[in-house]
Amino acid sequence: MYVLMATAVARDRDKAVRFFHALSDETRIRIMERLRDGEQCVCDLTEALKTGQSRLSFHLRVLKDAGLVTDRPEGRWIYYSLNPNALRELEDLVSWLTESHAASVRRC
Amino acid sequence: MYVLMATAVARDRDKAVRFFHALSDETRIRIMERLRDGEQCVCDLTEALKTGQSRLSFHLRVLKDAGLVTDRPEGRWIYYSLNPNALRELEDLVSWLTESHAASVRRC
DNA sequence: TCGATTCATCAAGAAACATTGATCAGTTGT
DNA sequence: ACAACTGATCAATGTTTCTTGATGAATCGA
């Protein structure tokens, strides 16, 4: 039981670190901002963010590895979009981090 | 007007990067977890996290520079606690990042 | 005042991350 | 089949971040 709870916390912590790291970069935040309004292919993003293709590819991979975005190949394009599940998880993790978890002996 | 909005977005982005970076490390997440349940001095944290003092000091500084925690010297101790305002800001930023901001021409 | 305690800061080295240009693979139109 | 295009990956380099041990400032009790 203790062990189970411990691993659950470790999992949350791990996921939090993963997500937060993926979002700890301006270019990646800009990508997320773009994707909020719908899926985009890499060339849309290079255009919008005015940056090199391999640089963008690198950052997209970081976001994808974290699970925050998904990709969908179509013809010679690859469309990226936000992963709504991950975003929900992100919000949950922020709540988890924010709210007290004191195994309260006091009356609440 | 455009400029004002642009700088507002830049500010959000900046703050997001700052917060997320501060939270993108396991040790710092553990510190936050500890502080959820009330203020702690550095020696409490070294004890709890079983790690070196200068290492902890380093991570506390990162959190403090990001504004996520505050410190309160008392005698020879320095007590750290979460900054509730920053946590609220963090939640807002996550929402900002999550929700579509399409300057919608369509009927909503 | 002296020694012990708490904590920040610094410098040096190690590790992780980001950027760039080049190359490669897959797709499409001719 | 070929040329043009999209995007991933790689290698080299530069930059940032993390860790460690040492030093120093402030506080406290004896």
Indicate the pTM of the whole model.
0.92
Using the CA of B73, give the nucleotide whose C1' is nearest. Answer: C7
**Band of the pLDDT at A104, cuts 50, 70, 90?**
low
The distance of Cα A10 from the centroid of its chain, to the nearest Å, equals 18
Query: In chain A, which residues have their Cβ closer than 8 Å to the Cβ of B9?
Result: 33
Write out chain B residues lying below 8 Å of A26, CB-based.
13-14, 17
Determine the pLDDT at residue B103.
66
Give me Rg for the CA atoms of chain A.
Answer: 18
Which pLDDT does position B102 carry in this prediction? 77
Q: Which residue has the tokens 């929900």?
A: A88
Average pLDDT of the segment spanning A6-24: 95
Q: CB B20 to CB A17 under 8 A?
A: no
Q: What is the pLDDT along chain B (108 residues), one digit of tens a residue?
A: 667 777 899 999 999 999 999 999 999 999 999 999 999 999 999 999 999 999 999 999 999 999 999 999 999 999 999 999 999 999 999 999 999 887 655 544
How far apart are the C-alpha atoms of B81 and B30, rounded to whole Å?
13
pLDDT above 70 (res A11)? yes
Report the distance separating Cα B68 and Cα B84, nearest Å: 8
Q: Which residues touch strand D (CB under 7 A)?
A: A 41-43, 46, 53-54, 56-58, 60-61, 71, 76-79; B 21, 24-25, 27, 51-55, 58-59, 62, 75-76
Residue nearest to nucleotide D18 (CA to C1'): B55
Q: Which of B54, B103, B63 is nearest to B86 (CA)?
A: B63
> Over the stretch A44-84, which tens digit does the pLDDT of each residue have?
999 999 999 999 999 999 999 999 999 999 999 999 999 99
Other CB atoms closer than 10 Å to residue A57's CB: what's the count? 13
